[in-house]
Structure 1
Amino acid sequence: MSKPYPLGANLQSANSLKPQGCNFAIYAPDCSSLQLILFNGKNQRSFTIENKYADIHHIFISDINTGQEYGFSSNIDGQDWLLLDPYAKAVSKAPYYEPPYSADKSWHFTKAVVTDNAFDWQGVPQPDVPLAKTIIFEMHTKGFSQLNPAITTAQPGSYLALSDPVNITLLKQQGITSIQLLPIAVCMHEPHLLKQQGVNYWGYSTLAFMAPDPRYATVDAVIELKTAIRELHRNGIEVILDVVFNHTAEGGQDGPIFNLKALDHRYYLRDENGLRNYTGCGNSLDLTHQASLNLVMDSLRYWVTEYHIDGFRFDLAATLGRNGDRFNQQAPFFHAVAQDPILKPTKLIAEPWDIGPDGYQLGYFPDGWNECNDKFRDTVRSFWRGDHGYLKDFATRIMGSRHFFSGGRWPHKLPVNYIAYHDGFTLQDLVSYNDKHNTANGENNRDGHGDNRSYNCGIEGDTDDVAVIAFREKQKRNLITTLLFSFGIPHILAADTVSHTQGGNNNAYCQDNEISWLNWQMDDVKKEFKDWLSKMIAARKQYMLPFIDAFTGDGRNDHRISWYCSNGDMMQQHDWEHQISLGLHLGLGTDGDELLLIFNQVDTPIDFKLPDVPPTWHRICDTSSMQLAPLNVNDHYQLAGRSMVILQRSGASTDDTI
């Protein structure tokens, strides 16, 4: 006997009371009748679904095994369409069609596949890294390892390659706690890309929320992804998924019909003109509609329970809190997540905006959500480019943007700070290009962000000029050191570890090639930066984390903080308007450990008088040099042009050594 819940295809093992088979259930209020279609090669069987409950069509078929391909057929405007199950746990092949999509082509499209949830996790626990200790490493599943010649245990560019010993070693050496994968739910490329024989490389065009994309598997995407996650967990590395619940691959009013459009028109936000487009992708999912909310919540729980996913980064998350034209901090979705015992322990990271009205919501997501802090990105880039008027804003960003994210709500509201993300310049391109170079995308360089706040350091693009290269490396150190020694959760782009360049392309969403694939050919300069980065991450963990704790929650007042001018005087209100250098003095308790961060924004050296707090300061880092050798410092420090220095001293209650 069939049941309406759970939705999707769910196997049932035989026992004395129940036969072996599979229960199929699909929510389809807009379909008066549906047929279940089972495929076996070129052969197919059809079953009329007669059982209905609360708009759910359901049927039980005996003797169904893992690997069975299926779909649902519905007559739409006199044509029989094959619809993909929105609750598909796997698909038969990477989806593809030649535009335009049609009823006939739907029968040759990818099919849903019945799966078995059984997997041997071997008792490996999830790492459960505290937020304050988290170092996020954003990567593309394929692009991260596709060109790495050292991969030996798996196909480069695959799920399994993520957990190849070479990659595990790299992540651990770099001090990474959590990898954030660009979307891996099965993606369908937009029609304009298909017409160009292109692809949505980043994966931000979801076809089925619960099915891993077969593009990154050799045989079985489900098993191979779970295996990679298990091995990453075994080595203490979390896995965060970038998820796209703000829109689907069905696009706008004239877009293809894959499933939701035919099953229930209320899945999407609409107005008198049709589908609302708050995402720039043609449609916007309406999470005030119960079926939409159920689909998203069921998908999130599935990834956590069946794949042991540690967290999610939500693309254009403002859409998830929309009630029409307005964003609602008390939206049904946020309440649903907050009360869910499966999702409560996970990391939840919001991209806190979309392109619709009331779309920019930085700082307004509920407790339990961390947010991508684009204010940090823009301010830090502008400051180190040498733009005037950013000193006060710069100070605010390195202190955790507390006007958006109060320290009393840390660590659960620590901002996710970043310099580079997948959408935009890599770190290397940020210091190598003044302008975007997106011609390869086929849109006449009109696509991509125009406000990059980049600086080519004197020459546009690649160069052999030793002085320019040295300046670029110093700028990279300035940007990353600021990121690691600011209050927040650091987000690092995987490409930046190997100083990868995209040739100035700041919107490589369609570049499934060497533009996006990380270049693992390392010269001495790249190797030095990679080694320096790992040491700086270790320095953050050793020296910065105690200060984040001291500025957090109820104990956040158990610290000292002072701002200094280069002459040693305390910063006054008028100083914030014209100073070109800045000193930040942090202390724990009344006489505990201290940090001193000093910044020089201009190209001329500055003699910086240090605070009169004996004993001797010890140097952690000077970005004017790749070397991290310690140095004892007394009352002055000669700060090189366009550089920053971090000094440390141990307090009275601790050993005065490094």
Structure 2
Amino acid sequence: MFAKLAQPFPLGATLCDQGCNFSIHCPDNQEIKLVLFDDENKKTIIDLNHQYMGCRYAFVPDIKAGQQYGYQIKDKLEYRLVLDPYAQALGKAPFYVEPFTAEKSWEFAKSVVVDHQFDWQKTTLPQVPYEETILFETHVKGFTKLNPHIDEQYRGSYLGLCQPKVIEFFKAQGVTSLQLLPVTSCMSEPHLLKMDKVNFWGYNSLCFMAPEPRYAKDDAVAEMKTMVRELHKHGIEVIMDIVFNHTAEGGEGGPKFHLKCLDKNYYLQDYSKNYLNYTGCGNTLDLTYQPSLNIVLDTLRHWVTHYQIDGFRFDLAATLGRNRHRFDTQSAFFKAVAQDPILRKIKLIAEPWDVGPDGYQLGHFPRGWNECNDKFRDTVKSYWLEGNNNVKEFATRLMGSRDLFSAGGWPDKLPVNFISYHDGFTLRDLVSYNHKHNHANGENNRDGHGDNRSNNHGVEGESSNFSVIHKRERQKRNLMTTLLFSFGIPHLLAVDSLSHTQGGNNNAYCQDNEISWANWALSGEDECFSAWLSQMLAARKQVMSPFIRAFSGHERGHHRIHWHRSNGQGMTAEDWQGLEAFALYLGLYKDGNELMFLVNSSDIPTRYRLPPGSKWSVICDTSESRLSQRQTQTTYMQSANSLSILYRP
């Protein structure tokens, strides 16, 4: 009877009324055995009597959810316990003391059988349109760990992120979509373990389908689902940042958790069978190999089906389309996602590069993919913070980087524009530091990017000088206004809404402490900026989103676009070489709504002549710390180093 219940697919542990089917892909280790553990850690070893296409499998009766298990293999002369690569939960947070020997593997975290029944309380998916999407990059633990407005037991957890006060904050800020830093199970790299540090960001995947236990009070599976459900109730999407380009097993000499012991072909290898490192993390997953492609696709469907995830941001996504040394937009992965009835409906965001050859692929991902636009980041920071007056480049980014992303593919092909990300300076540090200060990472300040394009405005770090603070706050508003009123999907770092500083650390990946934890003790300036940002996000949805929608697809050529000097005359070819004060006029159709962008990067106030007609409403003027409802008609005096957005319905 039970032999008939045994099946090679799906891989992993699959429950039914009679018990559980266990199946694992393991062509490199045919002597593998299933090991079950009871509550006292006593083990039962079970033969995997069936095999098919490199899979070994067996059906075990009377297994219930919560059963811990692993797989025994022979590693040279020792028996090693390995995780199920398809494990859907882990029994505890993974940890070991270097080196990770076969003996220590038996005390490591174990795979857990999961029953995915859950009361979703008839919640529906938010399905936020692309042109209305506001991405809020958030660390599950870091954002709530110090939040005094929620019960202490929930701080730094999945449940903390969905507490009423936190959701109230998200709603007040106008957030539509939380982009969570990795919440799949993670193992810190050996060099961090030696320094008694952890991979706080989580970009070192252990088991792709298992939620990270560190963020759970009791049950990571149920608590993560609860978080998603409660956020969905309030119309907030959940986007997962996910890492398929490499795994926590590292390169040659790295720890053995599963894939290395089961089938080396999971990874890209050179001709001497050494691991190719196109990720900077020791190994590179090979998606031209069917089992590797399978686990990635199965993982994506797993999160969408069982957790109702709304989309994914793919770390170093060029790897996913890589055929060894080349990137291919027609790769099997892209084709497989495009035809999948579950995956083709969700948001797909690519970090469009990796560190291997042919690795920079901005603008080259297929239809249905949005891409993180680092050219927007670099151009806008250089323009406002470095005085790099490249008007043509700035204008191109403002208008949606159409040199890379044709408006014919909008809104679903809009670029993801950003100023700050988890890696790099926070918004506050961008205007407070000229140099990175990563000494706490233990690498003598050698780590982290050197090209920050920041400006400390005369003082390195924190300052009580009113003039310095005034300049910094204005530049924060310049950067955010440019981001929110450019054509694209705005990506904001969540802690920027609180003006959080990391003390100049631009690579705080191993700082599970106050450096990374959002500081909720806001100063007067911080409170003011948070309120301003909230109002600006509301203004973007009301004013800018319709323009993005109108300028997308077939209707894009039916609108008015004019570039002016401050005196109202059209810009000349010479003006595009470095004009410091210019205006962008946008109008819908022949006589529809109108927008004006008054940009003054010079050091002197400039008076702008406005197009004739009825009065313009001032959406914002970045020289002012608060939004004021007022109107202007014929001219407008724009302060130095600032910009304004004007609107006429």
What interval of TM-score do these two structures reach, taking the shorter chain for normalisation?
A: over 0.9
Q: Which residue of 2 aligns with 1:11?
A: 15
Pair 1:519-2:519 in alignment: yes
Partner of 1:245: 244
Is the counterpart of residue 456 in structure 1 residue 456 in structure 2? Answer: yes
Residue of structure 1 in register with 2:588 after alignment: 588
Given the alignment of the two structures, is residue 381 of structure 1 paired with residue 381 of structure 2, yes or no? yes
Structure 2 regions of 5+ residues with no counterpart? none
Deviations 1:371-419 (A, max 9, x none): 0000000000000014234211000001000010000000111000001
**Distance in 1 between residues matched to 2:381 and 2:279, nearest whole Å:** 26
How far did residue 578 of structure 1 move? 2.6
Match of 2:534 in 1: 534
Q: Distance in 1 between matches of 2:141 and 2:579?
A: 46
Equivalent residues of 2:586, 2:594 under 8 A apart: yes
CA distance in 2, matches of 1:220, 1:601: 52
Quote the Cα distance in structure 2 between the aligned partners of 1:599 and 1:469: 21
Query: What is the SS of the residue equivalent to 1:596?
Result: strand
Contact kept, 8 Å, 2:386 with 2:453, in 1: the verdict is: no
In the other structure, the counterpart of 2:355 is: 355
Deviation, 1:76, is 1.9
Q: Distance in 2 between matches of 1:646 and 1:115?
A: 52
Q: CA RMSD in A?
A: 0.9
**In the alignment, what sits opposite 2:132?**
133
Following the alignment from structure 1 to structure 2, what is the Cα–Cα distance between the partners of residues 578 and 299? 49
Equivalent AA in structure 2 for residue 343 of structure 1: L
Q: Scaled by the length of structure 2, what TM-score is found?
A: 0.98
Contact 2:140 2:156 in 1 (8 A): yes
The farther-off stretch of 160-169 and 384-393 is 384-393
| TM-score between the two structures when normalised by the length of structure 1 | 0.97
Whether contact under 8 Å (1:386, 1:602) holds in the other structure is no
- The number of equivalent residue pairs is 643
Distance 1:114 1:393 in 2: 53
- Once the two structures are superposed, what CA deviation does each residue of 1:116-169 show, in whole Å capped at 9, x if it has no partner? 010010110010111111000001000000000111385200000110001110
1:557 aligned counterpart, secondary structure: helix
Counterpart Cα distance in 2 of 1:472 and 1:620: 21
Paired position in structure 1 for 2:498: 498
Contact 1:410–1:553 (8 Å) recurs in 2:
yes
Identity percentage of aligned residues: 58
Contact 1:617–1:632 at 8 Å: present in 2 too? yes
2:573 is aligned to 573
Question: Conserved in 2, the CA contact under 8 Å of 1:163 and 1:231?
Answer: yes
Match of 2:485 in 1: 485
Amino acid in structure 2 at the alignment position of 1:117: H
| Residue-by-residue CA offset, 1:41-67 (whole Å, 9 max, x unaligned) | 231110121210111100111111111
Q: Partner of 1:277 in structure 2?
A: 277
- Contact 1:99–1:191 (Cα < 8 Å) also in 2: yes
Q: Give 2:30's aligned residue.
A: 32
**Mapping 1:69-108, distance limit 5 Å:** 69-108=68-107
Separation in 1, partners of 2:365, 2:578:
35
Aligned equivalents of 2:21, 2:578: Cα separation in 1: 70
Tell me which residue corresponds to 1:653: none
Could you tell me whether the CA contact under 8 Å between 1:243 and 1:313 is conserved in 2? yes
Structure 1: 5+ residue stretches without partners: 14-19, 651-658
Within 1, Cα distance between the matches of 2:159 and 2:133? 23
Partner of 2:232: 233
Please say if 1:143 is aligned against 2:142.
Answer: yes
Matched letter for residue 627 of structure 1: R
- Structure 1 residue 615: Cα displacement: 1.8
* Residue number in structure 1 paired with 2:190: 191
- What amino acid sits opposite 2:331 in the alignment? A
In structure 1, C-alpha distance between the alignment counterparts of 2:523 and 2:509, rounded to whole Å: 27
Q: What is the DSSP-based 3-state SS (H/G/I as helix, E as strand, rest coil) of the residue aligned with 2:479?
A: helix
**CA distance in structure 2 between the partners assigned to 1:631 and 1:115 by the alignment:** 58
Provide Cα deviations, 1:586-609, integer angstroms capped at 9, x if missing partner. 000001110000111122211222
Alignment of 1:166-245 (within 5 A): 166-245=165-244
Distance 1:376 1:610 in 2: 27
Q: CA deviation at 1:572?
A: 1.4
Q: Using the alignment, how far apart are the partners of 2:631 and 2:264 within structure 1?
A: 68
Alignment of structure 1 residues 540-555 onto 2, 5 Å: 540-555=540-555
Q: Verify the 8 A CA contact 2:389 2:579 in the aligned structure 1.
A: no
SS of residue in 1 equivalent to 2:35 = strand
Runs of 4+ in 1 over 3 A off after TM superposition: none
Alpha-carbon distance in structure 2 between the residues aligned to 1:165 and 1:389:
45
SS in 2 for 1:194: helix
Paired residues of 1:26 and 1:57 also in contact (CA < 8 A)? yes
Aligned residue for 2:98, secondary structure, equals coil
Q: How does 1:220-369 map to 2 (within 5 A)?
A: 220-273=219-272, 274-369=274-369
Q: Retained in 2: the 8 A contact 1:154–1:160?
A: no
Cα deviations across residues 301-333 of structure 1 (Å, max 9, x unaligned)?
000000000000000000000001000000110
What is the SS of the residue equivalent to 2:227? helix
1:92 partner letter:
G
**CA displacement at 1:582 relative to structure 2:** 1.7
Report the CA distance between 1:558 and its aligned residue. Answer: 1.9
- Partner residue, 2:158: 159
Contact 2:390-2:578 at 8 Å conserved across structures: no
How far apart, in 2, do the equivalents of 1:244 and 1:388 lie? 35
Residue type matched to 1:476 in 2? K
Q: Which amino acid aligns with 2:24?
A: I
Q: Could you tell me how far apart the structure 2 residues matched to 1:220 and 1:578 are?
A: 58
Query: What is the deviation of 1:610?
Result: 2.1
> Tell me, what secondary structure is at the counterpart of 2:376?
helix
